[in-house]
């Protein structure tokens, strides 16, 4: 997987509603409802761009081993990338 992940700020609009972040792709009009771990990842992208730092922060937040969450993390980030919401390098 990539080592740097950044939000494509000109490609979406977002709003927080209670425990959810709703993100709309400005290109497709598709809405994404982010809760739980997905919301945590989305919000952590504002603080960290490096994959290793993101995984470490998630592992700490959820009391998990980084290797245990890496595959699901990569899958979620890939879906954000496919939607044009993040840039992975």
What is the DSSP secondary structure assignment for residue 50, as one 8-state letter?
Answer: B
Q: Is the pTM of this model over 0.85?
A: yes
Q: What is the mean pLDDT of residues 62-85?
A: 96
Q: What is the mean pLDDT of residues 13-36?
A: 97
Produce one character per residue of 10-38: b if its CB has 16 or more CB atoms within 10 Å, e if not. Answer: ebbeeeeeeeebebbbeeeeeebebeebb
Residues in the chain: 89
7-23 residue pLDDT tens? 999 999 999 999 999 99
């Amino acid at each position: 997987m990539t080592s740097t992940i950044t939000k494509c700020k000109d490609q979406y609009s977002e709003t927080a509603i209670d425990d959810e972040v709703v993100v709309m792709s400005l290109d497709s009009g598709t809405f994404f409802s982010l809760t739980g771990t997905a919301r945590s990842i989305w919000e952590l992208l504002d603080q960290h761009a490096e994959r290793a730092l993101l995984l470490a922060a998630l592992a700490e937040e959820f009391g998990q081993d980084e290797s245990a969450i890496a595959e699901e993390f990569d899958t979620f980030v890939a879906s954000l990338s496919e939607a044009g919401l993040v840039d992975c390098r």
